[in-house]
Amino acid sequence: MKSSAIVAFLVLASAAAGSAAETLSCPDLATAVQVGTCPSEAELKYTFNGYCSDNRRMYEQDTSVCTDYQAYRKLKNVAQWESADGAFSAYVSCDLAAETIKAMPVSRIAAGKQGKISLLTCSYGDGISFSYRSRRQCTVAGKGDCAGHPAACRASCD
């Protein structure tokens, strides 16, 4: 009887701890790491031919990426990056040097939804956006404009 009371207490304590609000900050890209590899030029050309020659693409609404290899290359020549803690991730152009990426300051944070998943998106330069996904409800502290004030890029997820 005593051990079942302890187990019940531990279950309730872990549930209460899991419901506490989590405060998140946009990652500093100086500590971000590339976790995926960039495709080779040969791989890009091979997948361009396969992707764009698929007959069903002819009937889709947006086929602009298949009209020009450079447009396709811009879309697909990316590698996955993660924040140092692995909480935020992004697909970043392989045409950008790692030193350039790591030097980018955060400019904006925004919260949104994708189905039942909350998305926190931290925007940097050159179209780079690192995202955090959670089933919790996330809200941005302030207006979300944090250019020049990286510490202001915070959100809370309950």
Q: What is the CA radius of gyration of the chain?
A: 21
In this structure, of 10-14, 57-61, 143-147, the range with the lowest mean pLDDT score is 10-14
pLDDT at 56: 58
Domain that holds residue 101: 23-51+64-157
pTM, rounded to two decimals: 0.79
| Dist. CA 28–CA 85, nearest whole Å | 11
| Rounded average pLDDT over 124-132 | 93
Q: Looking at the domain assignment, is residue 43 inside a domain?
A: yes
- Asked whether residue 17 carries a pLDDT value surpassing 50, the answer given is no
Q: Looking at the domain assignment, is residue 129 inside a domain?
A: yes
Q: Looking at the domain assignment, is residue 8 inside a domain?
A: no
pLDDT at 9: 39
**Torsion sign across C-alpha atoms 21, 110, 148, 92:** positive
In this structure, which amino acid lies at residue 118? Answer: S
In this prediction, residue 11 has a pLDDT band, given cuts at 50, 70 and 90, of very low
Calculate the dihedral angle through the C-alpha atoms of 61, 67, 70, 76, rounding to the nearest 10 degrees: 40
Q: Looking at the domain assignment, is residue 58 inside a domain?
A: no
The number of distinct structural domains making up the chain is 1
Q: How far is CA 28 from the centre of its chain?
A: 13
What is the average pLDDT score of the chain?
84
In this structure, which amino acid lies at residue 115? Answer: G
Contact assessment for residue 149 and residue 104, using Cβ atoms and an 8 Å cutoff:
no
Tokens of 34: 């590339």
Between these two residues, 15 and 129, which has the higher pLDDT value? 129
| Dist. CA 86–CA 62, nearest whole Å | 33
Q: Give the number of other CB atoms < 10 A from CB of residue 72.
A: 20
Q: Looking at the domain assignment, is residue 137 inside a domain?
A: yes
Q: Looking at the domain assignment, is residue 14 inside a domain?
A: no
Q: Looking at the domain assignment, is residue 147 inside a domain?
A: yes
- Asked whether residue 29 carries a pLDDT value surpassing 90, the answer given is yes
> Where does 54-124 have alpha helices with state H?
69-76, 98-102
The model's pLDDT over 43-62, given as tens digits with 9 standing for 90+, comes to 999 988 888 877 655 666 66
DSSP 148: T
